[in-house]
Amino acid sequence: MTTLDYWKMLSLEQQSKLAAKYCFDCGFNESETLNITDNIKLLTKFSEDAHIIAKKCNHYAARTIIEVLRHNDMIADNDPDYKINNNIAPFLAKISMLMFPALNALFSTRVHASKVLDTLHP
């Protein structure tokens, strides 16, 4: 677990390595981990917004944060080739709650498919 202030002091490379460790702890596969580590700036912005929301309420939808980020990105038009993928929301929710204790239980998440299979076929 870490704090947002500590996270923001790290370089992008250090953030990527730390995120990869947390992805492993979440049970993400290689593709899911790459999706997170390739989008470190998105993870940071998502986590910043989630911390602001966590101060005001106990529960929130990760997809709502993604839609706000998508809207703001379209207005800023920083990179017209990059689009925020809908599939990243649950991964951002899970890793941010694991990484930052202040976000614990802010989002509702499902059990990762690989963990369900492990319980069915031990």
Predicted confidence (pLDDT) per residue in 35-89, tens digit: 899 889 899 999 999 999 999 999 899 999 999 988 887 655 555 555 677 788 8
Maximum CA pair distance of the chain?
49
Across residues 89-95, what is the average pLDDT? Answer: 91
Environment class of residue 122 by beta-carbon count within 10 Å: exposed (0-12), middle (13-18) or buried (19+)? exposed
Quick one: pLDDT at residue 20? 95
Phi-psi region of 27 (alpha: psi -120 to 50; beta: other; left: phi over 0): left
Number of domains in the chain: 1
Query: What's the CA gap between 20 and 30, in Å, rounded?
Result: 9
Q: Which domain holds residue 97?
A: 4-120
> Per the confidence metrics, is the pTM higher than 0.95?
no
